[in-house]
Structures are given as structure tokens and as C-alpha cells.
Structure 1
Amino acid sequence: MSKKVSLLPSAEALSPQHKKLNKLIEQIEQQKQDLTLWQNAKSEIQSYIQLKLVPIYRDLHAVYYRQLAQLWLHLQQEDFAKADLAQLDEKLTKLAKQLKKSNYLNTAELEKVAEVDSFYQQHHAHRQKPNKKAKSAQAEQRKAERHVDIEQEAAEEHESYEAWDSEQYQREKEEHQRKRLEQKREQAEKLAEQSLKTVYLKITAMIHPDREPDESKKAEKTELLQVVNQAHEAQDLFYLLKLQLQLETNKGKSPKALTDEHLKFYKMALEAQSQRLTSQIDDITDSFHWSEKPKPKNMQVKDVYKVIDGDVSVLKEQVKWEKERLKYMEKVKGLEVLLAQNVL
């Protein structure tokens, strides 16, 4: 809000619940400042990404596509040894997977990528079926040759079941915890809506200008009431609750208007707001994080530029190497060199 409200240092007037609430309020205030900083920086960072990263990714995908088209052509026209075919299949599968959702290829190029990708999906599915039968036959043969003990098999099956059961339990536990957390957040948001009106009415009763005989204080309260009305319209429980605690502390007495039960429920509502702010910040920082490395903890705006610059440096080297590799792929003899050195 436009009017700054600061907490008084006289913490002795506050109960333990109030102190916890004040700490949460300070945390939210910092999160709001951080979110504003990220929102203000978002446009500039996106422009920087468009300027630095997008052209390199466009170049990289163009080189990848030329590699795919060239290898696919060689595969149709030339005969290769079984080991070399395996390398070619692996490389083409990887290129098709990388390019099938590319934003940098035209329609004809994407159709070619889809053709290659579809071929290898069918090829992989076809190879899987006989492999399963072969593995099953080999397993049966080993059992016959080694006279596997039935009890040992039962024990192994039991261990396998226990492992599955443990994983299943863990998944169900995590899902249950997720649902409980979601329910708590929904409850907190409902409580926030209910408490917004209560806090607003208490504040307006305490600062109403018509009840103030002192003209200078009346003008101050009139200005504050305007800010309070803005906060109410914006459903900013954070600001209103902080102001209520400030006003009650200004009276020099322990705020009895808020019971411990009320404080717990306000705390839950503010925790939900804090979580929403965290999610909003994460959404922005995640959209800027292109690197394969983990996102830095407590990421700052300056960190984004460092990550982008680092990615640019790495990608430039990669584009350079991929272009060099493409030169070898364009001729059969060059391709044979790559295959022989296993650097396709």
C-alpha cells in the first residue's frame, strides 16, 4: 500500500502468538518486495533472452535438423554394418526427440522430423516384442539348467512384492499429504475471506475521523482510512492485519481483541498468502531458468543474467562442434570416420 506501517519495537506488549504473527508478516512483506522486483525485471530479462539465447537455439536446431536429414538420407541410400546401424538409429532417435517440439523449424521440416520419429517409435515397439520372448525363453532355460529352488523363487517374489508394496505405500502417502496440504490451503483462503471483513470493521472503528476532535489527527486518520479502504478493495488481509496489530499496540496494552484462536486462524490465512507469493515468484524464476543445472537457491535477478550468459557460452561451443560434425556427416567417408570413432 502507499502508506508505510512499521511495527513498534515494544515486543513485550505482544503474546507469543502475536510475535509469531509479526514474524510471518515481516516475511510476507519481504516476499511482496521480491515479487515486485521480479515482475519489474521480467520484461527486461525476456528481452535479454530473446537477444542472447533464442538466436543460438535457432542456429542449434537448424544444425540438428540438417544432421537428421543427412543421416536419414544416408540410411536410405547406403549399406551399413550392424554396429554402425545401431549408432545411426540411436542418433536419429535422439535428434527426432529433440526436434519434434521445436519452435525454430518450418512446417516441412517438422513433418520430416515427425516421419523419422514415427519410424523409430514403431521400430522400437517391433523390436521389444521378440526381445521379451527371447528373455522369457532364456529365463526358463536358466531355471531348467540350474534347478532353481522353488522356495528361493517364492522368497524373491515376496521381496519383490514387498518392494512394490513399499513404493506403492510411499506414493499413496505423498498423494495423501498433497491432498491434505491442498485442503489446508483452501481452508486458509476461506478463513482469509471471512476475517478480511472483521479486521476491516475493527480498524475503521478505531481510526474513524469523525470521532477524532483533534484536527491534525483527524486529517491523518482521514488519509489512513483512504489507504485502509484501498486495502479492503484489494482484499489485502496482510496489510490490514498488520495495521490492526500496530494500532492496538499503539494503545499501550496487550491486544485482547484478538484471541489465541483468532491469531492461529489469521496465521493460517497469512501462511496461505505467503505460499501463493512463493509460487508466484517460483513461476517467474522457473521461466527464466534455461540451464540444465539446478536452479540456484534464493535466486536473485542478477543470477538470471549469469545463468543466461553461462548458457550462451556453452551453446556457442556446442553449435561450433555440431557444425563441424555436420561436415563429416555430409559425405559417406566422413560419416564412417565418426562411426569408427563412436562420436556420431
Structure 2
Amino acid sequence: MELQKSTLEPEQKLSAPQKKFQKLCQKIEQEQLRLNEWQTAQADIQARASREILPTYAQLREVIFQQIQQLLQQKQQKVTAAQQTKLDQKIEQLSLQLLDSQQMSTEQVQFLTELLNSYGHHIELLDTDDVDLRSEAKTATESEDENVEQCEQNSFEHDESEQERLAQLKLESLKHFLCEEYDLDLDFFDFQHDPLDLDDFIKKFEQKMQEQEELDFLSQLSSAQKAFAEQQIAREKAKAAKKQQQREEAKKLANQSIKAIYLKITAWIHPDREQDEQKKQEKTVLMQQANQAYEANDLLTLLNLQIQLGQQHNLSFANQQLKAYNLLLEEQLETLQMQVDDIIYSFNWSQFLYSNRKIKVQDLYRKYEQDYRHVQQKLARAQEILEKYQDLKQLKQLMRSQYVWEMHAVMM
């Protein structure tokens, strides 16, 4: 690389900072290529999903809506009380799925809301007709105004309580899952946390699990071993705290050094100070590169420019200067890696949960094909179920087995 070569004398033995500088430059270039590859793949997959998966899901929702309508019609036929109950449960289940998708038309949302409210739910629906009715009510009498305001307040309070109830249900479900997964008792979750914030709960849970693992480990040791292990744990925690402090200092240093490099470059190449027209154009191009690199916090590009221009001014890098730059390059490398990880884990990789293999771009395309086939299978299955629901004899046959009946739910 030009940058690496320019920092070293041809016959000079590489110092430790110089070796590290070279290695970091190579890693950053590789990570930039990797980031570009993932960004391209992400845009491609999103475009394909818009053309293929999203329309298929729209068809799936429409078929499920038709299932609900068909089941409502079949309720009017000659069915037993037990069958009526099963039909009601299925209708309610499918309606909740559709309403939760938030992708239905206004008319469908109104239909589903009224249907669910008839099953005992309390879902508020605000549409243009409601607004018009409330406007008319406000112009009627002062007492009617108070009634409307009171209804709105009660509705708002109910919506809030409904959201809190759903959040609490999710939290309880998560607790039971964690109990099964890690063989825990419900008493384990006695730590303080925000009851409506799952992220806060998970963070506190992970902290307690780590503490519990340390206690379990120490409990298996003898007194002498326990004392030694406690010292090691304390040393590791102190090392982690020191590393965090160094990272914070490096971040401050990065902001200061990048700005200093940028200002030095602009002082050398400012086009307004150049009389020669050709050189002025060359410096204008360099200035644009410097501005873009500074705005993007791109240290490597700025270093390239500084070294290139520094050679013209007979300047070279000292080891102490390289040490400072290495800190900044480490931070830039970490930022690039985090950007790649953000793209990777914006997708669901459940099949990789128990694999240590590094996820590649090819895996994303394979995953997309699997997801697309899966939603196509869901649609085909939903259409098959709709046909069975249209035949009362087949519908009753399905309801005879509770297992088969429950398996006929299509999850969105």
C-alpha cells in the first residue's frame, strides 16, 4: 500500500508501531470492502423483498381475512355448541393476528375491531366518521361535551392499561421461557427493573446471571482456591474498567487528532492560495476528498492525504506519532466492524444461534430464498385451509381433532 510504504524508509527495520500501523491499514481496507459488500447485499435483499415477499404476505393476509369471513358464515349453519366455541376461538385468533399486523385496509380494520369487541375486547377505533360524530356532539350541549371528553379520557386510560397489560404478558411469557431454558425458579427475577421495558429486564437478567455464575463457580472451590479466584475476578473487572477508560480517552483523542490532521491538510492545499490554475484545480479535488473524509470521520483517507502531502514538505512519521494514529485506526476498525454487524444482525439468524461459523453474504442470499419459499408455503397452506373451511363437512372433520384444529392456524 502507498500509505504503508510512504511511512517507512526502504531499508529501515520495522518498529513495533510501524508493524501495527501496517496491519491496521490492511484490516481497515478489508473491512471497508466487507462493509461495501454487505451494504450492497442489504439493499438488494430489501428490493427483492419489496417485489416478492411483501406482496406474498399481502395475499396471505387477504386469504386469512377470507377464512374469518367463511368461518362466520359457517357459524350460521347447523353446528354443536362445542363446535361454535371452537369456531369462535379460531375467528378470534385469526382476527388478532391480522389486526396485530397493522397492514389491513381501513374497512378491514373496522370490521376486525368490531368483531373482536364483540368477543369482549376493548379496542378503540378512531376514523373520520368518529371524528365527525364527536364534532356534532360538541356543538350540541355543554353536558354532551363533558360526556364526550369523559369517554375519550376513559378510552385513553383504557388503551394505556391495555398496553401495560400486554407488556406485562410479554414479560411473564419471557420469564417462563427463561425458567425453562436455564432451569430457574421465578424467584430468580426478584431484581429491580422497569416492568414495561424488556431491554432493561434483559440487561438486569444478564447481570444477575453473570453474578450467579461467579457464585456457583466460587462455591465449588476450597477456601484457598476461592480467595485466589476472587482476586482473579477482581483483577479482570479492574482490567475491563481500565480498558473502558482507555477507549473513552481514545475516542476523545480521535476527535482531536482527526480535526488536527484535517486542519493541517487544508492549510497545505487550500485552493484560494494557489495562483497556478492547473494546481488550483488539483488542490480543489484534494480539498473535496479531505472534506468528505473529515465529514465521514475517515481517518485512513486523511492519513493518506497527510502522508502524500507531507512527503512534498519533507515530513515523516515518528514512532510516537504512529502510536497515536494506531489508537485512532483501532477505533475506526472497530466502527467498521460494528457497522457490518449492525447490517448482519438486522436480519433474523435463528439457524446460526448454535453455530460458531462466521456469517457471510452468501448466507444472506440463501436465507432470503428460504424465507421466500417459507412465506409461499404459508400462502399455499392458507389457501388449502380456506377451501376446507368452505365445505362444512370438511370443517367439522377438522374440528374433531383438537390437535389438527390448532395446527390449522397460520401465524403471520
TM range (shorter): 0.5 to 0.7
CA distance in structure 1 between the partners assigned to 2:202 and 2:380 by the alignment: 46
What letter matches 1:7 in structure 2? Q
1:74-125 Cα shifts (integer Å, max 9, x gaps): 446665454x5664455334422321144653221122233444556749xx
User: Do structure 1's residue 343 and structure 2's residue 342 form an aligned pair?
Assistant: no
CA distance in structure 2 between the partners assigned to 1:235 and 1:165 by the alignment: 44
Summarize the Cα distance change of 1:248–1:86 in structure 2 as closer, same or farther, 3 Å threshold. farther
Give the structure 2 partner of residue 318 of structure 1.
378
Summarize the Cα distance change of 1:80–1:24 in structure 2 as closer, same or farther, 3 Å threshold. farther
Given that 1:7 and 1:246 are in contact with CA atoms closer than 8 Å, whether structure 2 keeps it comes out as: no
User: Do structure 1's residue 199 and structure 2's residue 196 form an aligned pair?
Assistant: no
What letter matches 1:320 in structure 2? A
Say how many residue pairs are matched. 289
The 5-angstrom pairing of residues 259-274 of structure 1 reads 260=323, 262-263=324-325, 265-267=327-329, 269-271=331-333, 273-274=335-336
1:23 shift after superposition = 3.6
1:56 shift after superposition = 2.0
Given that 1:188 and 1:268 are in contact with CA atoms closer than 8 Å, whether structure 2 keeps it comes out as: no
CA distance in structure 1 between the partners assigned to 2:75 and 2:385 by the alignment: 17
Query: For structure 1, which runs of at least 5 residues remain unmatched after alignment?
Result: 124-158, 210-217
Identity %: 28
CA distance in structure 1 between the partners assigned to 2:336 and 2:250 by the alignment: 11
Q: TM-score, normalised by structure 2?
A: 0.52
Summarize the Cα distance change of 1:279–1:309 in structure 2 as closer, same or farther, 3 Å threshold. closer
Given that 2:262 and 2:294 are in contact with CA atoms closer than 8 Å, whether structure 1 keeps it comes out as: yes
Query: For structure 2, which runs of at least 5 residues remain unmatched after alignment?
Result: 123-183, 194-200, 211-240, 271-278, 406-412
CA distance in structure 1 between the partners assigned to 2:101 and 2:90 by the alignment: 17
Given that 2:86 and 2:399 are in contact with CA atoms closer than 8 Å, whether structure 1 keeps it comes out as: yes
- Of 114-123 and 330-339, more deviation after overlay is shown by 114-123
Name which of 298, 315, 336 aligns with 2:359: 298
- Three-state SS of the structure 2 residue aligned to 1:7 is helix
CA distance in structure 2 between the partners assigned to 1:200 and 1:52 by the alignment: 46
1:337 shift after superposition = 0.6
CA distance in structure 2 between the partners assigned to 1:201 and 1:118 by the alignment: 65
CA distance in structure 1 between the partners assigned to 2:378 and 2:321 by the alignment: 62
Give the structure 2 partner of residue 126 of structure 1.
none
- Three-state SS of the structure 1 residue aligned to 2:60 is helix
Name which of 327, 340, 345 aligns with 1:278: 340
User: Do structure 1's residue 7 and structure 2's residue 4 form an aligned pair?
Assistant: yes
- Three-state SS of the structure 1 residue aligned to 2:255 is helix
Give the structure 1 partner of residue 149 of structure 2.
none
Give the structure 2 partner of residue 98 of structure 1.
97
CA distance in structure 2 between the partners assigned to 1:5 and 1:224 by the alignment: 19
CA distance in structure 2 between the partners assigned to 1:266 and 1:201 by the alignment: 17
1:161 shift after superposition = 8.0
The 5-angstrom pairing of residues 51-90 of structure 1 reads 51-75=51-75, 79-82=79-82, 84=83, 87-90=86-89
Give the structure 2 partner of residue 258 of structure 1.
321
Give the structure 2 partner of residue 29 of structure 1.
29
Summarize the Cα distance change of 1:165–1:336 in structure 2 as closer, same or farther, 3 Å threshold. same
CA distance in structure 2 between the partners assigned to 1:234 and 1:171 by the alignment: 32
Given that 1:56 and 1:315 are in contact with CA atoms closer than 8 Å, whether structure 2 keeps it comes out as: yes
Give the structure 1 partner of residue 107 of structure 2.
108
CA distance in structure 2 between the partners assigned to 1:258 and 1:93 by the alignment: 68
Give the structure 1 partner of residue 274 of structure 2.
none
1:290-323 Cα shifts (integer Å, max 9, x gaps): 78755995331x4444333323333333322222
Name which of 329, 332, 343 aligns with 2:392: 332
1:146-188 Cα shifts (integer Å, max 9, x gaps): xxxxxxxxxxxxx9686235797984375799xx999998766
CA distance in structure 2 between the partners assigned to 1:48 and 1:161 by the alignment: 44
Q: What is the CA RMSD across the aligned residues, in angstroms?
A: 5.0
